[in-house]
Structure 1
């Protein structure tokens, strides 16, 4: 089976609003529901688990009923960090899923995940045991001089880089064992670490899957305006 873990355990302070950003309404629908609908509509997704802020569980169940998110099966509470929230979601599936099931982890504030991206991450995970959504890096990257951070004399060839995001997928047996190992050894769980960086620090080789520039993370008010523009944009049928 293919089970999604949607991470919505943060408060989103950088958005500067009075409620968590995943619950901000855009055209009379919470951002989180747009994300959940992407997984609800995808034919390969069998079930959804949501990692959510305490105090919002009943509200989410009500939204799920209102917007017909029938694949939502479980809600667990988030942790004090992003990695703790993902860990809670992974541990919450113990005894409920099979070792060989594909577990797709996705940020609740990335509401524009495309069906083709989800399909590819599932396909790659089924083949290789894991898959990380990725895109080429199209900007030039220069390294700051260690003696003067206003200068540089070194660059990183952009063709050697990939930028990654969610969705990313892992076989449950691998995912569960590595989260236990990471929190026991205190490896890959602090700061900006996510599942993919944790996996690499624990010696796992990751496999790239397809990505999309539309798959934006809604962090600031400018991101929110971009999301609204995407929703209102008319697709040009003549573009290949």
Structure 2
């Protein structure tokens, strides 16, 4: 790919209801130090020089809220707000399909969870770099704990483990060439492959027989799922404010 002629478009997935957080509003809209979680996420993409535009896939009925927050916090790279679906895969598919008349085949789409607000700039840079070189990229980290397999005949025991050197933790951001991404989602939904439950773009791609390439990750790239995660996020902000809030 010619990096100079390729657009880098972020799809931020903010369609979850956040039931595990136990709050009255979706977790991506919870205020932390007087700013919604989603805005922290969007600001990381807004600041990054390689990001050209942003699309947010939002819970239906919250589109005006996203638009108002974006204006309040000067997120001027936000160009599109698209309603989400009933699952995360439907939501991502909605965003990918919406861009069909906007994207060139070689444009890069960076998919990211709206509730992962602590994105290091160099992680985002690397996922774009690897995608330009290989056609896709998934943020990854080594797994530093021991992984044991539950015995089939006794769920309270184990007799086998997975060498941790052979596995990686994969999260978002993830990046894909637009034409490949669009074709994959159309095939997956036509065939019912990896579109339900906890499936995401990366698992769908592997189920469709695609090879994925690892990019740099960060332990600070936490996903805000529970109240404990929210407290950890606050601690990061308060302990290293100069870095996170620039």
Query: TM-score with structure 1 length normalisation?
Result: 0.97
Quote the residue 2:116 is aligned against.
110
Structure 2 gaps of 5+ residues are: 1-6
Output aligned runs, 1:16-31, within 5 Å: 16-31=22-37
Cα offsets for 1:61-97 (capped at 9, x unmatched):
1111110000000000000001000000100100101
Quote the residue 2:4 is aligned against.
none
Output aligned runs, 1:76-95, within 5 Å: 76-95=82-101
Output aligned runs, 1:1-240, within 5 Å: 1-234=7-240
SS of equivalent to 2:65: helix
How far off is 1:42 after superposition?
A: 0.2
How far off is 1:234 after superposition?
A: 3.5
Cα offsets for 1:84-125 (capped at 9, x unmatched):
000001001001011100100000000001100000000000
SS of equivalent to 1:124: helix
The Cα RMSD (Å) is 1.2
SS of equivalent to 1:198: helix
Matches of 1:19 and 1:134 in 2, distance apart?
30
Query: TM-score with structure 2 length normalisation?
Result: 0.95
SS of equivalent to 1:105: strand
Matches of 1:143 and 1:116 in 2, distance apart?
34
Matches of 1:97 and 1:182 in 2, distance apart?
20
SS of equivalent to 1:94: helix
Runs of 4+ in 1 over 2 A off after TM superposition: none
SS of equivalent to 2:170: strand
Quote the residue 2:3 is aligned against.
none
Structure 1 gaps of 5+ residues are: none
